[in-house]
Structure 1
């Protein structure tokens, strides 16, 4: 269950041109409130009566807190720094703590607090570890007293906060992996206020090395300036210049290396990706501009999920972070390469499935009095859509065409209701925040812009299953345009779309998504259900494959491969190298900017703490099988904490176990039979099919990948089974990384 915590632009021509560029067709441009046609569907350009958009915590409407230069730019909510732009608290017009790693930050009236937490605290009765922000120093200008801090510009993983009090102006550029803070100011001297009297270990006029709270910093002023230390205040005149920088050093002897890049200011960041024959490559690149001299290189610290998958040279320098050791690279870019994560619309047919029994379970789901279980809001409607969509290819697989078509009808009907403005449920565009909000909303998806990637993942997944069987329905001129509009809101691949930000929920450098739209917490941003995030990535693979949209297919492949590794390392501690040694848990339910917690937003029930990062179980969940030992540790801990086997979410956890030990999961299913209440997004039909199929085929073997994104391998007693689904209109041959080939007829699944 996700709890964490887009619409017309001002100029109709912008929307029309954007829609046309994406093949979504023309849009109306009325001068008053209206429904905007998109293909066969529509959304509204105003909220339904009685509903709310983004607000402060007391319910006061709030608009983006950005400078005039950024006024028309789509604001990337759900980021590590979003509190700069989304003022969640009326009495804090600056920011809450922001966790860039290795540095942490918080904006204040006098400038930017900077910290480097290196010692974890275990809090919350042992359930949470955190490297909480604590200011070692505050970077600013003499006399600066700004009434607020705004976001002035941003890129894929950097942001530039802005302060002005009328007489003085300050901009700083900060980001993930940046050991430097780059500052540009006017109207006053550079001023560094330290948490205590600093110890000076190096003094060369405009370059000063100081130690504060056990952490080493280097201060760089323009050539010709001189730093002056008076108690806990350090100042330097800028003369005719406007720049200075501060770096956190891994050690005092690193000063010479860091000095080389002190004036090569980072001005932007961008990731690019590609997929080829089962391999996903991504390049992370910084742009720089020298303030003096000609040096354009830089230093950047890589997270564990990145340096595990790069062959680029790294320095001996390292930093502490809540995500384990960060390693430093001396260059403006690095490239990662990792195996893709195969996605199937459903597990393939297997001999271990009792078709008569499966048919009974399918009939139970398809013929329910209310197949949507009373769902009205975006999240619970999504869960119901996902539950029914999982059963469509299963019914088709055993020849139950009537059941398949009935399920497809249910999916189409409910999707079309939501994709048509003016009814009891609709999507509405907020032109100030440039976001598409579904009403009825839930869990702060409206007031806090929470969880859009969670909620919309189910709609895209269900639409992908419909597209597999009815391509006409998914055409842009029909309902496909509304699906793409939801994608543009939650996971927009475009940086030039004037109506939605680039990858709203996904933090490309952190390697995973964030759930809170405003990031307004002392612990930074957070994400609980990483698996509902990867549900969107897997849905993009399926939707892109079913509709021939290779751009969205490959986007999904990049997001899934990247977040899969982040989940393994930061939620499940697969290598047992991330969680502090003093932390007494093998898995966490939530990751925070400052650390992680063995908890959820709504319950302390161990079954749900463990299960929330598994559901929904689909053909996009196979990536979890990469770390089978972590699955075993995870489930063992659940039983210890639970005081016995799962009861409430037994189906989710059985399915999880089947990814590592299908026989054990099958034994539990056989012992318990069907005498349980399925989790809200699950059904007996799907759980039985999943467990019985894996028991017959074996657990996923993710050491072998296929040339088609919709392929997978299973292994039982040393025997591999190769599977792939071909969405294309002609037969294709899939080549696997072990040399095996598989011929797959058009629009079908094949196994070998």
Structure 2
């Protein structure tokens, strides 16, 4: 093994030394295709804010990174919050930092009827044995990050960890001669090396076997039942991997010399395509793909179907290839229903409801002024305008557009009374006036919670207004693009004030919503449908402004979010994704965490099935057709939900009846006609439009 790894150690050292000098914004990929519209928007600056509630990132990020926008929903977010000692999941290992040591865990899954949890146990802990005076005081720092990786430095331990998502090996560089210790929370049952002393086999009493590869000979001694230590100082590369079955040892041996240091996702020219590219050493690269990767993989890679690790996201399968191309089915992004309302009698009923809903709209100012509720209510009004256009009842559109202008313009020009969007520079993004002072205000918008949800609703309304009144759209184009950049930025020079894709995870292929808040179970997202709505709305904004690039990126992200939702939020018993004890009781998840699946919601218990269905459906729009394309699953989901509708609020019932209308149109229609109330982002008009467009 030494002959393979040693040849790249000096090359790696050179790369490491000089890569730290490259600004992070240059290291990340820029969007290759400029917007075709020659009138590109200028960078609009919302007023500056000094937040009193955000954590200080300077404790963890290197100084060069502090001058760039920082991620606020990232796969490594726990590493840069609080003490930085909550674990994050990297597929297939959980990683946890404590002091100047790093622990990894190949987690067990604990399934119940209401949750599936990956627990953290320190299977192995890597540390230096030097007795520095400040050894325990110094922690880690983030020296670089990108779409698929983060680099953690432990200065007092002389250790640099390349945490690349989906790597079956944990790879680290000992950048100065250092004595090392590797300990376990279990007991070591056997310990051996090959003749060259560059491969060690470590068997634990929990039936795990770990393999250790080094770039040169290294001497470990089994000093006590729970640790091994080097007898001398070591300099070079070490890779550690759990052995997933004895038959796979030769696979790990074969690919141990080629390792990734970082990885990026590239948006391809070809529609609905994404490519993973890794910075790596010479040789063939072995990585792990989750089930959605396997479904979408397109290019000439080798899939090792028998080389598997377990994970909460399903089996992780070995893939050999220096890049991956992922392609999702094309997604129709349309203003109006995919299945048009053809029956003129249906038009009559929709128009009757539309007249009443528009009258109520223009006579009732928006009273909920938090950014989420406000945006949701404007999107509700925008739906009425599009439905009016679809059923040719256009004379109400001017009243709706006036309502929308009066409602939205104060948020865009800074005159909204009591709240409004601001820019804060410590992390690089938008907050609200209230959110800058109170982390609980605006549903946590000020601590970067749910940005794609809130802004997605605003983008939907702005897009519809721009469609109806292009002159208005051009007047507020810069503000609209500044809002979109907060969560849609791909690091173009235009949007350098915002981090890259604030919410969307380019390895998991869906969004996270939790912001800069520590969670022991990692990142989380509750409402998958509102995430879909955010990228759908961005795509519509591209249509409204004739920006093909924005439409293409929004459509791709919406398509990936839909694929991920159908994979991990929609529960199918018997597909081996989740254990039967969970899948038999749940047809849809409440919250997907990086380390957990939860049947409960932030606002409701697992028993509130109507809430679980509703929060994964709203808002109902043309894209809902694609999100719930599996009608047999929809039938199972509605049947599972129906008992909970007894005594449920009218608002939640509406979403269940809407799905029922996909296979039982007439009965669902009658139920909708008898509803006494609606969700604040929904309306009778919208539900009738949906049902009558079922065909």
TM-score by length of 1: 0.79
- The answer to whether residue 231 in structure 2 is matched with residue 232 in structure 1 is no
- The answer to whether residue 246 in structure 2 is matched with residue 252 in structure 1 is yes
Number of equivalent positions: 633
Distance in 2 separating the partners of 1:238 and 1:611 = 61
Correspondences of 1:631-650 after superposition (within 5 Å): 631-642=634-645, 647-650=650-653
CA shift, 1:77, in A, is 1.2
3-state secondary structure, aligned to 1:129: strand
3-state secondary structure, aligned to 2:178: coil
Instruction: Mark the CA change 1:330 to 1:580 in structure 2 (over 3 Å): closer, same or farther.
Output: same
CA contact (8 A) 2:222 2:229 kept: yes
Unaligned stretches of 5+ in structure 2?
1-30, 436-440
- The answer to whether residue 69 in structure 2 is matched with residue 74 in structure 1 is yes
Q: Deviation per CA, 1:369-424, whole angstroms, max 9, x where unpaired?
A: 65454121110011101101111121123333331111112222222110112542
- The answer to whether residue 542 in structure 2 is matched with residue 551 in structure 1 is no
Match of 1:460 in 2: 459
Correspondences of 1:82-97 after superposition (within 5 Å): 82-87=77-82, 93-97=83-87
Distance in 2 separating the partners of 1:567 and 1:174 = 26
Which stretch shows the higher mean deviation, 195-204 or 401-410?
Answer: 195-204
Match of 2:46 in 1: 43
Which stretch shows the higher mean deviation, 193-202 or 407-416?
Answer: 193-202
Match of 2:212 in 1: 219
CA contact (8 A) 2:347 2:391 kept: yes
- Determine which of 350, 354, 358 is the counterpart of 1:366: 358
CA shift, 1:96, in A, is 1.2
Q: Deviation per CA, 1:498-527, whole angstroms, max 9, x where unpaired?
A: 321111100011011001112511111110
- Determine which of 310, 332, 343 is the counterpart of 2:333: 343
Distance in 2 separating the partners of 1:666 and 1:529 = 28
Unaligned stretches of 5+ in structure 1?
1-17, 28-37, 56-60, 88-92, 290-294, 698-752
Which stretch shows the higher mean deviation, 680-689 or 648-657?
Answer: 648-657
- The answer to whether residue 521 in structure 2 is matched with residue 523 in structure 1 is yes
Distance in 1 separating the partners of 2:153 and 2:101 = 9
Instruction: Mark the CA change 1:178 to 1:387 in structure 2 (over 3 Å): closer, same or farther.
Output: same
CA contact (8 A) 2:378 2:457 kept: yes
Q: Deviation per CA, 1:138-168, whole angstroms, max 9, x where unpaired?
A: 1222245243333221110211122234xx3
3-state secondary structure, aligned to 1:152: strand
Distance in 2 separating the partners of 1:645 and 1:352 = 33
Distance in 2 separating the partners of 1:201 and 1:672 = 67
- Determine which of 317, 325, 329 is the counterpart of 2:319: 329
Distance in 2 separating the partners of 1:506 and 1:588 = 19
Match of 2:179 in 1: 189
CA contact (8 A) 1:420 1:426 kept: no
3-state secondary structure, aligned to 1:308: helix
Distance in 2 separating the partners of 1:687 and 1:492 = 33
CA contact (8 A) 1:273 1:282 kept: yes
- The answer to whether residue 201 in structure 2 is matched with residue 209 in structure 1 is yes
- Determine which of 159, 167, 177 is the counterpart of 1:178: 167
Distance in 2 separating the partners of 1:239 and 1:297 = 30
Instruction: Mark the CA change 1:674 to 1:643 in structure 2 (over 3 Å): closer, same or farther.
Output: closer
CA shift, 1:260, in A, is 3.6
- The answer to whether residue 424 in structure 2 is matched with residue 427 in structure 1 is no
Instruction: Mark the CA change 1:470 to 1:422 in structure 2 (over 3 Å): closer, same or farther.
Output: closer
Distance in 2 separating the partners of 1:365 and 1:511 = 37
TM-score by length of 2: 0.86
CA contact (8 A) 2:218 2:234 kept: no
Instruction: Mark the CA change 1:225 to 1:453 in structure 2 (over 3 Å): closer, same or farther.
Output: same
Q: Deviation per CA, 1:446-499, whole angstroms, max 9, x where unpaired?
A: 443111011110011111111222222223xx2111111112111212266532
CA shift, 1:263, in A, is 4.0
Instruction: Mark the CA change 1:158 to 1:372 in structure 2 (over 3 Å): closer, same or farther.
Output: farther
Distance in 2 separating the partners of 1:489 and 1:282 = 21
3-state secondary structure, aligned to 2:328: strand
3-state secondary structure, aligned to 2:580: coil
CA shift, 1:332, in A, is 2.5
Match of 2:309 in 1: 319
CA contact (8 A) 1:437 1:445 kept: no
Distance in 1 separating the partners of 2:643 and 2:392 = 42
Match of 1:301 in 2: 288
CA shift, 1:665, in A, is 4.0
3-state secondary structure, aligned to 2:253: helix
Instruction: Mark the CA change 1:455 to 1:52 in structure 2 (over 3 Å): closer, same or farther.
Output: farther
- The answer to whether residue 480 in structure 2 is matched with residue 487 in structure 1 is no
Match of 1:354 in 2: 346
- Determine which of 562, 569, 572 is the counterpart of 2:570: 572
- Determine which of 224, 244, 268 is the counterpart of 2:262: 268
Correspondences of 1:380-459 after superposition (within 5 Å): 380-424=373-417, 425-441=419-435, 442-459=441-458
CA shift, 1:341, in A, is 2.0
CA shift, 1:607, in A, is 0.8
Instruction: Mark the CA change 1:110 to 1:676 in structure 2 (over 3 Å): closer, same or farther.
Output: same
CA shift, 1:239, in A, is 4.9
Structure 1 vs Structure 2 CA RMSD = 2.5
Match of 1:115 in 2: 105
Distance in 2 separating the partners of 1:674 and 1:171 = 63
- Determine which of 263, 288, 309 is the counterpart of 2:280: 288
Distance in 2 separating the partners of 1:372 and 1:606 = 32
Instruction: Mark the CA change 1:469 to 1:206 in structure 2 (over 3 Å): closer, same or farther.
Output: same
3-state secondary structure, aligned to 1:474: helix
Match of 2:94 in 1: 104
CA shift, 1:191, in A, is 2.3
